[in-house]
Amino acid sequence: MKRQVRPNVWELAVSLGRDPNGNYCRRWETFHGNEAGADAHLARLAESVRLPDRFGDMRVRELIDRYLTWLDDGHRNPKITKLRHLNHEILDPTLGTRPAVLIDTADIFEFLRHQHQAGTPRDVIKDLRALLVQPWNWAQRHRWTNQNPPNEVRLRDVIY
């Protein structure tokens, strides 16, 4: 659902289904911008609340994108913009096409180690690790998976 509250302010809602008591639930967000931007944000919002049939159906890029969409409040948060950039420029070309369910600790360690050896600054490596750990934490909270391989990789082992 999309409703204009005032010029360039939109109220967006997507259905979450029914809760255990049978009550109808929605997720509401306010979007600031033009109608095309509101439509695009509504589509991302709808995709972020759709549960996958199986975690194994998701690629790493899809897991991270769903997490960042869920995290995004529609106000052009610079941290989320930075994480999207890191995902698009560094993570996606390397790990993005791989099924999330097949990623293990060794894959994450090798990816981060390669970034370190390529001269990537430590703060960027730290952000890359967080960009991997947080979506898996989020997937665990949604009960999509019971494993979090990125969480087992310690930065001190990668960098030193």
Model confidence pLDDT, tens digit, residues 18-71 = 655 667 777 788 889 999 999 988 887 776 666 554 566 788 988 998 888 888
Whether the pLDDT of residue 160 is over 80: the answer is: no
Q: What is the pLDDT of residue 34?
A: 94
Q: What is the pLDDT of residue 101?
A: 83
Q: What is the largest CA-CA distance in the chain?
A: 54
Q: What is the pLDDT of residue 20?
A: 56
pTM listed for this prediction: 0.64
Whether the pLDDT of residue 10 is over 60: the answer is: yes
Q: Single out the residue of 153, 58, 54 nearest to residue 107, CA to CA.
A: 153
Q: What is the pLDDT of residue 29?
A: 84
Q: What is the pLDDT of residue 7?
A: 95
C-beta contacts of 74-83 below 8 A and 24+ residues apart: 74/29, 74/30, 74/31, 74/32, 74/33, 74/41, 75/32, 82/127, 83/127, 83/131
pLDDT tens sequence across 75-123 = 778 888 898 899 999 998 988 888 888 888 999 999 999 999 999 999 9
